[in-house]
Amino acid sequence: MKTENAVNNKKSKLPIVLTVLLIVVLLLGGALFYVYSKLNDDNLSPAGEEKTIVFNVYDGETITEIAQELEKSGIIDSARHFIYLCSARNRGSEFKYGSYELSNRMTFEQLCSKLEEGSVSNDSIKFTITEGMWLSEIAQLVEKKGICTADEFKAECNSRDYPFDFVKEIPERENLLEGYLYPQTYIVEQGTSAHELVNTMLSYFDENVGEDIKTAAKAKGITLDDAVIIASVIEGEVSAPEERELVSSVIYNRLKNNMKLQMDTTVLYALGEKKQLTLDDLNSPLPHNTYYVDGLPVGPVGNPGIESIKAAVDPADTNYLYYVLEPGNTKKHSFSETYEEHLENESEYYKG
């Protein structure tokens, strides 16, 4: 009887097992069909409000790099989706470098058609803003490139007539948009106005400085503008990338201890020229000179890159208050917690 019952039990369980397997197969099939359908969907639009940006494709960029920048800029839902469609439909080989006006509501085919048109003409102008450049230096560069005069550019950089919330929150000061002119390579067409150019630079700042950075700044008890100011000091002080967070920690530690920052890059900016500093320079009563003013300078002392902005809201956990440039060409610093250690480092490096 037990053997017969066991056989009957097995028979009774068999339909259940088959039903479960069928459900699993159907679920897997449904999931695979969903993924396949999603990947083959022409609709690349991410969630959020509709927006249009100027998007640059640079000479030599791969499809993967373009796709990653499109996702980062909020034009497509994912780089993987775009790359898959390019591969499946044999698109991408005809993409041309240049400057494009793209919307986050364009389909895959619309994007590809746009990128295949090519916006580069003989009149296109290419220039690069490097990390730490001053507004005045950028003004001279765009004038040299024939885009607009330096004075026109400076005037636009003292305007709030731009559709970005962070612009509204900048305190009133000279060189209002210093710090927000995002460093990268730009390609623009002849006839681009100073206002259009500045708007493009601000749009790149808006795209790259996201909510994570704004949230981190708030957690540190500082404003986004404070973070940009700190980042600009870091950018001017640091040559070795691995020191960004360390210099950031020195800034925070000195502020916490009510010490003047005393950072040379702020003096150079205050003076408006890059030179060997003198004692008189350090004592100059200028609002950007952190040997003279308490706390942060009145505004950014250049235009920092994204890595310095990240370091400004995420400093290393140290007790460092001082640093001194090491001898030779390492462009690195030795950091110390006490003034005595600092003096020892100075005497060791610069003896004789």
174, 208, 242: which is the final residue of a domain?
A: 208
Tally of structural domains, the chain:
3
86, 117, 148: which is the final residue of a domain?
A: 117
* pLDDT at res. 34: 47
Instruction: Please write the tens of the pLDDT for every residue from 193-217.
Output: 999 999 999 999 998 898 999 999 9
**Same domain flag for 201 and 227:** no
> Tokens representing 149?
């005069």
φ, ψ for residue 238 (rounded to 5)?
-105, 135
- Its domain, for residue 181, covers 125-208
CA angle 89, 91, 93 (to 5 degrees): 145
* pLDDT at res. 217: 96
Contact call for residues 188 and 98 (beta carbons, < 8 A)? no
Instruction: Please write the tens of the pLDDT for every residue from 274-298.
Output: 888 899 999 999 999 999 999 999 9
**Same domain flag for 297 and 198:** no
The span from the CA of 254 to the CA of 64, in Å, is 43
Contact call for residues 292 and 286 (beta carbons, < 8 A)? yes
Neighbours of 128 (CB within 10 A): 10
Neighbours of 98 (CB within 10 A): 20
Q: Which of 11-20, 51-60, 165-174, 186-195 has the lowest mean pLDDT?
A: 11-20
Q: How far is CA 110 from CA 107, 183, 219, in A?
A: 5, 29, 41
Q: Is 27 a domain residue?
A: no
The span from the CA of 189 to the CA of 246, in Å, is 41
Q: Which of 130, 125, 194, 170 is nearest to 298 (CA)?
A: 170
Termini Cα distance of the chain:
104
**Same domain flag for 232 and 313:** yes
* pLDDT at res. 185: 87
* pLDDT at res. 78: 87
What percentage of the chain carries pLDDT values higher than 90? 57
pLDDT over 60 at 337, yes or no: yes
Contact call for residues 68 and 81 (beta carbons, < 8 A)? no
